[in-house]
Chains A and B, each alone.
Chain A
């Protein structure tokens, strides 16, 4: 069973100066799973994702990917190990073309895999139409597609998605979530951070709920959806009775 575990986070603490943002969380992601982390603003979701990717150093605790300790590894080596991230706020390279952004996604690869590129263009036909356009001139939704496509270019085994639906119109949210489902079905393991709990739980196998730096609840998506606390706090349903 434990050999199924692709990512194991244990007792992770992260702080910014004296502000503790993540206070001893533990969770894991199994190979092939889609796991979601839910939580309100400031819960520590982005901090967790950035720490996994090596952009911030953990204060203590461990992050193991295929039994390799990541906490002291520089970010670029973590990508080479097979973890890539579409960060919060998209962070596309605005003055580079769409295609240049995608090529950078494959930076760790010796040679660009044309198959992956055409698969990404299949997932997001709009990116293909706009491949020579500067990324900064894309709409928000298109930039999100680019951020996800770019992260897929390194052919990751584990894809980290930080609020891919943030600021998108409902139609686009659906497109993005449909694509995430497709990516999962093609075999990529996904850790998805979302405030849109309803959509995330529909897609996820399991979920964790983060509140002010601590995990307060965890379970399968079914368990979480049916939990009254989740329904009230994250799914906007009134308590029955």
Chain B
């Protein structure tokens, strides 16, 4: 029972990170029907940017302020990265055949990944220990660290905020409308370009939080980590139903918990392989993912 609960805590932590990154894939897919392969690399870039900011400000600020400033500035910089990515790699191809956009996405992914390597080198970088004080709480034999609590709470707050934004605000409703029918959205007076940029901004900023959590929780970051974490998050988005926002949250959590149980009960070396077994099983029974993208009436 203790192993079960312990792995559940670990799984929810990893799952939150997957979910944050998965949201970026799913939101862009929802609006553009495009898989933004560069999203994972933007997440990697955010981990590096966050590290630079942390190192610059460490010792100058109190821990709480340091974390706050690091998060906000990394989110802003990564969001700008998302805007640049959309302008440079996707907007010029908006009316081009689908395959061109896919190739452009892969190209952008490689540019960012190699850019990181050129700037920071091919060797892993290590986040300083205990950016978040290393405190563990013992709940009857189940340990939860302050870092884990931070991940869970911040992720939950961000996801609730996103849910409210998408479902309760005018711009959020416009975003859902653009995902259904862009021309009809234009006829409502919606500036579709602006909505698309907003989607990239939100997806990238959430991805930046994911990237920072990866750095602070696992500590080791590498220039090609975008592929590994990106792929997992992408799988999470598909499991939940690509294009569906609650789906990405659910898929991330499920995949995190699934991976944690494999590590706990089998061996972490099986987690990648079994992740794909899970994906295949879900695709067989629910080809559109668990919360599936509800089929739009007419394209």
**A108 to B185, alpha carbons, bound, how many Å?**
12
> Can you give 21 A-B contacts (C-beta < 8 A)?
A53-B187, A55-B183, A55-B187, A75-B187, A75-B189, A76-B189, A76-B191, A76-B192, A80-B189, A84-B189, A85-B187, A91-B184, A91-B187, A93-B180, A94-B180, A94-B297, A95-B176, A96-B173, A108-B189, A136-B297, A154-B189
Tell me whether A94 and B296 are in contact (CB under 8 A): yes
What is the interface of chain B mostly: helix, strand, loop, or mixed?
helix
The answer to whether the Cβ of A172 comes within 8 Å of any Cβ in the partner chain is no
Chain B residues with a Cβ closer than 8 Å to the other chain, count: 21
Chain B residues in 8 Å Cβ range of A92: 184
**A91 to B183, alpha carbons, bound, how many Å?**
9
Given A76-B189, A91-B181, A104-B190, 19 other A-B contacts at CB below 8 A?
A54-B186, A55-B186, A76-B186, A76-B192, A79-B186, A79-B187, A79-B188, A84-B187, A85-B187, A87-B184, A95-B296, A96-B173, A96-B176, A96-B177, A103-B170, A104-B173, A104-B188, A107-B170, A151-B187
What string of 1s and 0s marks CB contacts (under 8 Å) between A72-115 and chain B? 00111001100011010101111110001001110110000000
The answer to whether the Cβ of B212 comes within 8 Å of any Cβ in the partner chain is no
Q: From A54, which residue of chain B is reached at the shortest CB distance?
A: B186
Chain A residues in 8 Å Cβ range of B188: 79, 104-105, 107-108, 150, 154
**A100 to B188, alpha carbons, bound, how many Å?**
12
Chain B residues in 8 Å Cβ range of A103: 170, 173
B20 → chain A closest CB, angstroms:
24
**A79 to B191, alpha carbons, bound, how many Å?**
10
**A100 to B184, alpha carbons, bound, how many Å?**
14
Chain A residues in 8 Å Cβ range of B192: 76
A228 → chain B closest CB, angstroms:
38
> Quick one: which of B167-208 are within 8 Å of A by CB?
170, 173-174, 176-177, 180-181, 183-192
The answer to whether the Cβ of B140 comes within 8 Å of any Cβ in the partner chain is no
Chain B residues in 8 Å Cβ range of A91: 181, 183-184, 187, 298
Smallest CB-CB A-B distances: 5 pairs: A79-B189, A108-B189, A75-B186, A91-B184, A94-B297
